């Protein structure tokens, strides 16, 4: 009998991705259906339903689900869920009862759906409840406000993983695959480390704190769309792997990726991260400073506090809170605000803007901030970026002449 946490909802994993003859037949049928185009975020949500990451969802949510989640973290059936998983359209011709093909923004047929409800929402209400702001500068708010006029609800059949397995190979692991890997290693206490960035010394320290008390850590990297300026997934993955290969004990860490886009919803997104990590088999989620945040929309530890505010028993996967970490020159090593008595002048802290500027200029990052092997991967990426930008500038100048 498995010692891993049960999938969300207490049942079995519920992957909706078809295979074999069923996939072939449904794909052929889908080609004759009216199409509904999905955004990148909606496509990621559909793929998560396909691989079982959003167990036990069977499709996109109804208006009662949407309302209940916005106002009280609960779907219409009472199941805990922190952020609405919805599909939108501006198509006036799509009606309840229709069967439609779900198409990505690149034109690929990703699934089919039986529309059971077509409804409108108050987008500003969702933004205030989920993101705590209606500021269009917030990337999550911008996504919601850009949605279509109508939401469509109904069960789905998923026909593609979006090419993630082909692109990322073994790094793209489904919940069934991570659970099998944990079982094979004899792990039952697993902490998930969520990241959309390369791992510097502070992130390494967080993971190693977890390893001290857990069987292992799943470094779970986002493979979907990010905001402009974030490091591409393939570069981030390479930087993380070089860190694992050089600075972690073998079989204490697994690197994997998942297909969602970032919502930047701060505290609410931390809850979503814990929910789908439960489906992946993780008993804990590492929650550090400014988890899933952006700008100054959330307090630095709001994502930790929210776990105390939701109804008890909402999730089996629990938060593992760790304070802000850094290298302290006086301590002579990594420390946190809970363990270091010294001042900020003794701590090596670099903003993301400063790191990007140094890497873009070919400068070395302090070894106390980043392992040299990680910095080398990032410097190579920024050098190629600068070269591409220079080529564009030269071409632009040549055509103008």
CA separation for the pair 290, 303 (Å, rounded):
7
Are 94 and 60 spatial neighbours (Cβ–Cβ below 8 Å)? Answer: no
Q: Which helix (H) or strand (E) holds 26?
A: helix 20-30
- Choosing from 41, 151, 197, 268, which is the catalytic residue? 197
Instruction: Return phi, psi of residue 216, to 5°.
Output: -175, 175
Whether the ω angle into residue 223 lies within 30 degrees of 0, i.e. cis, is no
Q: Say which residue the tokens 């008390």 belong to.
A: 213
Beta strands in 284-332 (DSSP E): 284-287, 318-321, 325-328
Structure tokens at 201: 């010394």
**Catalytic site residue 179?**
no
DSSP state of 157: E
CA separation for the pair 309, 291 (Å, rounded):
16
> Residue 211, SS3?
helix
- Choosing from 3, 29, 179, 196, which is the catalytic residue? 196
**Catalytic site residue 41?**
no
- β-strands 325-328, 347-348 pairing: antiparallel
- Listed residue (213, 222, 202) closest to 269, CA to CA: 222
Q: Which helix (H) or strand (E) holds 46?
A: helix 40-51
Taken as a whole, the chain contains a residue count of: 401
Which residues does the annotation mark as catalytic? Answer: 196-197
């Amino acid at each position: 009998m498995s010692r891993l946490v049960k999938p969300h909802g207490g049942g079995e994993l519920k992957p909706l991705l078809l295979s074999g003859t069923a996939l072939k037949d449904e794909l052929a049928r889908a080609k004759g259906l009216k199409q509904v185009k999905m955004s990148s975020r909606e496509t990621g949500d559909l793929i998560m339903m396909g691989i079982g990451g959003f167990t036990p969802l069977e499709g996109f949510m109804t208006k009662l689900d949407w309302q209940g989640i916005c106002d009280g973290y609960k779907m219409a059936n009472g199941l805990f869920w922190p952020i609405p998983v919805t599909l939108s359209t501006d198509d006036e011709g799509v009606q309840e009862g229709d069967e439609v093909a779900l198409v990505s923004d690149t034109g690929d047929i990703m699934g089919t759906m039986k529309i059971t409800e077509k409804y409108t929402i108050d987008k500003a209400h969702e933004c205030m409840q989920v993101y705590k702001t209606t500021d269009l500068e917030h990337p999550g708010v911008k996504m919601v406000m850009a949605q279509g006029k109508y939401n469509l609800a109904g069960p789905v059949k998923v026909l593609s993983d979006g090419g993630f397995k082909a692109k990322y190979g073994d790094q793209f692991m489904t919940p069934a695959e991570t659970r099998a890997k944990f079982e094979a290693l004899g792990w039952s206490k697993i902490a998930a480390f969520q990241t959309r960035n390369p791992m510097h010394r502070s992130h390494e320290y967080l993971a190693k704190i977890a390893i001290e008390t857990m069987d292992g850590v799943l470094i779970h990297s986002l493979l979907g769309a990010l905001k402009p300026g974030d490091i591409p997934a393939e570069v981030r993955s390479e930087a993380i792997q070089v860190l694992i290969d050089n600075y972690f004990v073998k079989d204490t860490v697994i690197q994997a990726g998942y297909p969602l886009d970032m919502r930047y919803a701060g505290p609410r997104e931390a809850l979503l991260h814990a929910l789908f990590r439960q489906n992946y088999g993780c008993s804990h989620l590492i929650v550090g400073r400014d988890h899933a945040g952006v700008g100054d929309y959330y307090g630095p530890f709001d994502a930790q506090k929210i776990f105390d505010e939701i109804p008890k028993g909402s999730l089996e996967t629990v938060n593992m809170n760790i304070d802000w970490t850094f290298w302290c020159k006086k301590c002579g090593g990594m420390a946190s605000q809970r363990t270091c008595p010294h001042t900020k002048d003794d701590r090596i802290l670099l903003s993301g803007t400063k790191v990007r500027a140094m890497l873009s200029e070919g400068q070395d990052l302090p070894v106390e901030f980043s392992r040299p092997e990680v910095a080398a991967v990032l410097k190579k990426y920024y050098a190629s970026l600068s070269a591409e930008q220079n080529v564009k500038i030269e071409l632009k100048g040549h055509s103008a002449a």
